[in-house]
Chain A
């Protein structure tokens, strides 16, 4: 009976402040968007409230995909359950030793590195040893496993990380342990499964993160399954930019570490493909951070991992670069000059103009002084804007600089843009391309407000502010492909490569990556497989991604590697090269299409406000309702909807298309 009604697909993104939701039905076509306050201690409650907010019952939902930073937040805030670490004897201190490097060159007041996530008394040295080719030098004895089991029983840990030396080359000892351990602790993470790559500290750190995330993820995902019993339609968004079934996430919760930002990038990928934009830079500016990612020919760039604080997390994931600058970043004027962030006013008390007791000047306050924010706006029915408070917060800086208030606010926005431009530069440089050739895709609370100023600074001439830009990550949950990714260290020289053996190993990887999709009812014929070789010169460390297809042609692969190396570093030599790893992504392409939303329309009270731009102070500026906008708008103008503000400075214009994307272009050089 209820099966007949199951016609809605729902995407949600659980952010720090708000839980966004977007619901789509195909026939008759309808899109609904809402935002509800997040509940850090009851995320499932917030998700179900969001469902109510778009007027849906549980039994109307066919598919429910969510992105969440729950795992990442738990790691960053160090609210993690206790974990035991099993390492090779003699290497128990691997996390304490780390890589020696300290995080700040000139500050003695902060500890040079974070303490280990596992206290010494929970680290166990297991007598066994492999070499780098996977040969067993010292076999793991049953008696030794007994000793471990006895030790483990007297700890009260619920989760264990196993990271043995060279396990990426041969998992034999880790597998021997797995069976015995699973009988006595609920959660076991094995390094060769979590991150089958060399470098003991990075692999161990990743495995410990996974182990720590497991109890949190399993508890929360089980609750969700129970309260929203829709079977395989319940999915989670993973860091590599696709959705995965819940059963897979419970074993490898680390795959959702960058779930939220990755969903935003995935929505961007859909738009890049839809619009046929060859090079796109995503610009997602939130309250405390700004995330950027590069999309080339409809594919987002991938990375091998990232740092969480100063601890490495190695997992293939979208190459989202985050910097600690957002709307809430605090502006400081010291004798050494004017700086923005990394300190943030956060959501409590927030920028001064939120009227909740904040007094420190922030980027949002500068935007308020410039007239960009609608004084009648209420954010989530909780925050009303106090422009006067923003002016008071900026005033001391203006006085110190002996400049006008508006002039100072403009300057602050410029510095903020320069700070964020570094993130854009970083992702383009890593890929060896010129950022000015890219289209900027702006979303998040601050993206559409800062995009034009940032583009001016960076030399970018075209910006897209997508439809549903305010619930963009939730949208990404729906429009992404259904996919799974597997990566493994091969480390074989290309010269004299054993092609038969290599192909066997690649086929195995393809099988591993496809299996979760097929288990979820995707037909094998529907699965697309993308193959990437991570290659380097024999003497190098960092491998670079070289896509290839089967049948594998080693000469072609080598040529492609040389071309890519030249593109990145400006030279290539005739040295011998190595296939370090192979990455396989199995995907079923998305078929979801999103129309202009029918909700989130709000009547504007004001048609004009006085705003300040570079080159024009206190200019009468048109305020345009985004939902009803049909014609090209020439700057200066502010385009608003319930949740976002698009600033079109003088010299720029904005043009809407049929499904609600806005195209900003520069009209004067």
Chain B
């Protein structure tokens, strides 16, 4: 067998193309606006051992967490029990999970009777049962209140879709018809991935394919080690805070101690707060995902984000903490809020060592507003809307307004689509002027969006961070403005919390003002 560098590159292209094709199939056939408009889905391909080797251009937090989706599965499901054509579905936190809404559909790919790879399609289901429509319950005491928990079960086999399991799932979600369409799309996506992987194996031979995957891991490892070696050895500490969820409802601390030694780095997160009293807990997999993203940014290099890139990194979380709270803790919000705070803490730790590679604090919150309207038949119509905000400024430019940062990259739903599909009128969507922090370079501005309720009643979930602790400035720059949420009912302001579940009335006006990014450098320094 020969393995030249060109074949490795050819196979790398093939894997990326396959993952991108999976996301394309999923987006184009999806039913839920969250998937088709906002694109809250990701695709990946792993090697036979479950280590990630190919991914689409999707959502970094998903891609990071999917590194654990198959390895953790293979600890509880034996490879020998899997057959060609099997497709598994699961969402449990313990199996490389993040939050229950993110449902993984996994297909082992067989060539000549052996598994050569796995294809993973991850999608955020807009609702997966539980206490409140949308499965984000701010006051959840545990994950059982949040949503349906799915252990690895066969959703399809070579014979086709496993109807009893499909029925079980549909019976436990609030928009069963959309759920079925989305899930069939996920299964179709893994099928598309399988087709491409089999083609690659047939063209190059299984041995070459397998060796190339191993080589891809090695190449990323080499690149990451070189990058770490360039960083000055030492210990770097940083922290940031979640608005609440700490003891007595106080802000919850996220702390990191980074040790750079030669070509290896340790990220010790055990100084972070204890298990949170709200749904901002998260899993160690999400902590790892956030570290993997940050390490990639710290490296300042282009590299393939695969398991090899993680090898030089040691990531420590503390049992009983907000980042390792046990498998039954409520975790819905931690997926996109707490994870981002880890990135913030790492950036603050490194800000004096490599400021030119980083940015000031940005809109590190998904700023979710989730609207749910009951239909006559008892099912629900749901809109999960994220809000972009200001990007943190950098050493050489202002932050950009109205964008997503770091681990997130989902979109808004256009006002014209919202109005055509929901009993909501979008009365305003504008840039929130002057909300970015001042500095030599200014932070980007947030957005303002107002929703008028036209239905007799509608359920609302808010999941917004950075309402108390603002995005930080860097090197003397000012912090950005904090997020604000308001509810006007019958001409009067009604108090509304950033993490809440409530019922709206006709004519209510909900307005979100998302946060601005932090500035970079003191404002009296002259920018060029």
* Chain A interface (Cβ < 8 Å from any Cβ of B): 90-94, 96-102, 105-106, 108-109, 111-113, 131-132, 165-166, 198-202, 333-339, 401, 403, 410-412, 414-415, 418-419, 421-422, 425-426, 429-430, 457, 459, 491, 537, 539-542, 565, 568-571, 573, 575
Contact = CB atoms under 8 A, between A and B. Distances in A.
B417 A199 contact: yes
A124 to B, nearest CB: 13
A434 B297 CA distance: 38
A198 B185 CA distance: 24
B527 interface: no
Contacts of B32: 539
Given A415-B9, A569-B29, 9 more contacts: A93-B402, A96-B431, A100-B410, A108-B297, A201-B414, A415-B13, A459-B199, A539-B181, A540-B31
Given A100-B412, A132-B419, A542-B27, A415 B220 contact: no
A439 to B, nearest CB: 19
A97 B412 contact: yes
B28 A569 contact: yes
A106 B13 contact: no
Listed from nearest, the 10 A-B pairs whose CB atoms lie closest are: A411-B6, A100-B388, A541-B36, A539-B31, A90-B428, A418-B10, A132-B420, A99-B411, A569-B29, A418-B13
Interface stretch (B136-144, B298-306, B319-327): B298-306
Contacts of A336: 219-220, 222-223, 301-304
21 contacts: A93-B430, A101-B39, A108-B358, A109-B394, A112-B400, A113-B403, A337-B216, A338-B5, A339-B9, A415-B13, A418-B9, A421-B17, A422-B16, A425-B17, A429-B24, A491-B420, A539-B31, A540-B181, A541-B27, A569-B28, A575-B181
A335 B199 CA distance: 27
B112 interface: no
A539 B417 CA distance: 11
Contacts of B357: 108
B191 interface: yes
A122 to B, nearest CB: 15
B10 to A, nearest CB: 4
A389 B214 CA distance: 36
B150 interface: no
A334 B302 CA distance: 10
A199 B402 CA distance: 17
Interface in B219-271: 219-220, 222-223, 226
A97 B29 contact: no
B192 A429 contact: yes
Interface in B163-213: 177-178, 180-181, 184-185, 187-188, 191-192, 199, 203
Contacts of A200: 414-416
A32 B29 CA distance: 48
A410 B27 CA distance: 37
Question: Size class of B's contact patch?
Answer: 35 or more
Interface string B56-97: 010010000000000000000000000000000000000000
A573 B429 contact: no
Contacts of A415: 6, 9-10, 13
A577 B278 CA distance: 41
B419 A131 contact: yes
B401 interface: yes
A97 B416 contact: no
A112 B216 CA distance: 28
B416 A199 contact: yes
Contacts of A573: 180-181, 184
A165 B415 contact: yes
B412 A99 contact: yes
A91 B429 contact: yes
Given A101-B410, A132-B420, A418-B9, A568 B60 contact: no
A105 B220 contact: no
Interface string B389-418: 001001001001111110001111011110
B8 interface: yes
B415 A411 contact: no
B430 A542 contact: no
Interface string B438-481: 00000000010000000000000000000000000000000000
Contacts of B191: 570
Nearest to B309: A336
B223 A537 contact: no
Contact of B402 (A100, A568, A570): A100
Contacts of B203: 457, 459
B431 A97 contact: yes
Given A336-B220, A418-B14, A541-B36, A100 B411 contact: yes
B188 A569 contact: yes
Contacts of A411: 4-6
Nearest to A168: B416
A113 B429 CA distance: 18
Contact of B10 (A401, A414, A542): A414
A98 B223 CA distance: 35
Contacts of A419: 13
B429 A337 contact: no
B430 A90 contact: yes
A97 B181 contact: no
Given A93-B430, A96-B401, A336-B302, A106 B297 contact: yes
